[in-house]
Structure 1
Amino acid sequence: MLRTSHDPVFFWDRYKPDRDGPAPPHEVTAFEWTQYEGHGPGAELLGRPRTALELGAAECREASWLARRGVRVTALDLSPVQVERARRWWKDVPALTIEEGEACSFLRGDDQTYDAVYSIWGAVWFTAPDELFPLVAKRLSPGGVFTFSHGETPQHLTGRQPMYGKGPEGREMTVDRWCHPPETWADIAHKHGFVDVEARCLPAPTGQALGTIIVEARLPDRADHATSSH
């Protein structure tokens, strides 16, 4: 019988182990929310931030793309293997800071605010939203943008679900992910004080099966508060 390991750090340490050279295998030429190159929206979903935080950045490809365009980016990942590789790949990008840590713990201890917090198939998908969303709201500037994407999941899978992978010697590994349809993500965002929420599933390109759920939300700004008080 195969042993099952539930160790998120170990799980993500083994994410894309074939990409471990001194430089990324391909130049980063675009900001992508989906797994299909050139499909769907780009960095415009973040507005025009001066500062940004990526949760679950892994290879930090999009974080490096933003940083090279003048945004001060903090990229966070749980895996020390991913962090070490990203720091090696992007050591020449001065506007990019790469941190190691779990998303909720980092947000609780962080004293910075950001114009945008985003996640691309990253920590938002793998963290309890009722714990994470209020912490994101505390770290956003007034009017700040919270945007994330993840893979389309079967409609019968809702809430906390295990995702499976293979570890060394065929050992089965699991990590928890939170599966919700777009309308549920929108409800969660509204519940935690976000406004201008748009949640949708972007269909895959022709010939591909898996779409991408994209959620956009905004923290109220001072003008919103002033309007609501009258």
Structure 2
Amino acid sequence: MTDIATAWNQYSGQRPERRPTNARGETTWFNWTQYPDHGPGVEVLGLQPGSRVLDLGCGKGGNIAHLATLGMTAVGVDVSPVQLRAARGRWGAVPGLSLERADAVTYLSQNAKGFDAAYSVYGAAWFTNPDDLIPLVFKALRPGGVLAFSQRPPVEGCYDCQASYIPRGDDEDPLVVRRWDYPEDEWRRRLLDYGFTTVQARTVEAPAGRRRTGTLMVRAERAG
């Protein structure tokens, strides 16, 4: 299996930069889905200015930077130095924003606590064994805290640990990383077993116009 940082360094170079503005002319915004100007926004997290929020797999930092601009204490964690270099280059001067290099499990294991919300947008919640990650997220959240994540819906019948392939050059084998795919009902069951008391899971339909894949969204609350 590919070294995780190497894989996401490679992936970083294949992703376009976030646009200067979105369709509403905003310079920062929150996007849960793989499509621009589509789906719900930051309201999913239920946060207020002053909240502490953690992005697990922040990539190039657009979502977590937006939360910092709303007055939150915002921490983005990513294992890829290439991704973080891009994030710091564009968003490093935003007040209230901290960008840390670590894998999600390591960061959460090092006494991370007191967050009002943690989230993952096609990030660590998809590419980390939930038995390792989710109990640590639960401990890091304050009572009433929210965990939310989005990822591609699973292929029917292809559940649990699967392989994702990150292409390289024409004469090179792709890089391989693990991901964890479950249907909505399985995510509900698992998150309740991990200790969350309210769990919602649904698929946000893709924009109309052509055949596209929707986005699986999961939201769980820790009891207040």
TM-score by length of 2: 0.90
Over alpha carbons, which structure has the higher Rg? Answer: 1
Whether the aligned pair in 1 keeps the contact of 2:29 and 2:62 (CA below 8 Å) is no
SS at match of 1:170: coil
Residue 40 (structure 1) aligns with = 39
Instruction: For 2:218, give the aligned amino acid.
Output: V
What is the rounded CA distance, in whole Å, between the counterparts of 2:32 and 2:58 in structure 1? 12
- Per the alignment, in what secondary structure is the counterpart of residue 154 of structure 1? coil
Distance 1:101 1:111 in 2: 12
The correspondence of residues 92-107 of structure 1 with structure 2, limited to 5 A, is 92-107=93-108
What is the aligned partner in structure 1 of residue 24 from structure 2? Answer: none
Matching of residues 165-180 of structure 1 within 5 Å: 165-168=166-169, 169-180=171-182
- What residue number does 1:209 align with? 212
Note the aligned Cα RMSD (angstroms). Answer: 1.7
Deviations 1:73-105 (A, max 9, x none): 000001111111111111210211000011111
1:17 aligned residue: 13
The question of whether the paired residues in 2 share the 8 Å contact of 1:56 and 1:78 is answered with yes
Asked if structure 1 preserves the Cα contact closer than 8 Å seen for 2:165 and 2:175, the reply is yes
Letter in 2 for 1:201: T
Shift of 1:153: 2.3
Q: What is the aligned residue count?
A: 215
Partner SS for 2:12? coil
* Distance in 2 separating the partners of 1:165 and 1:121: 14
CA gap of 1:71–1:139, structure 2 versus 1, over 3 A, is same
Give the aligned partner of residue 127 of structure 1.
Answer: 128
CA distance in 2, matches of 1:96, 1:155: 39
- Cα deviation, 1:117-173, whole Å, max 9, x if unaligned, reads 000010000000111111001100110010000012211210000101212442221
- Report the residue type matching 1:205 in the other structure: P
CA distance in 1, matches of 2:199, 2:19: 35
In structure 2, do the counterparts of structure 1 residues 130 and 19 end up closer, same or farther at CA, with 3 Å as the change threshold?
closer
Query: What's the CA shift for 1:68?
Result: 0.7
Shift of 1:20: 8.7
For 1:48, give the aligned amino acid. Answer: L
CA contact (8 A) 2:12 2:83 kept: no
Shift of 1:25: 4.4
* 1:194 alignment partner, SS class: coil
Check whether the contact 2:201–2:218 (CA below 8 A) recurs between aligned residues: yes
Query: What are structure 2's unaligned runs of at least 5 residues?
Result: 22-26
| 1:69 CA drift (Å) | 0.9
Alignment partner of 1:183 out of 185, 189, 202: 185
TM-score if structure 1 supplies the norm length? Answer: 0.88
Structure 1 counterpart SS, 2:139: helix
**Secondary structure in 1 aligned to 2:6?**
helix
Aligned to 2:92, what secondary structure does the other structure show? coil
Identity across matched positions, percent: 36
Per the alignment, do residues 208 and 63 of structure 1 end up closer, same or farther by CA in structure 2, a change over 3 Å counting?
Answer: farther
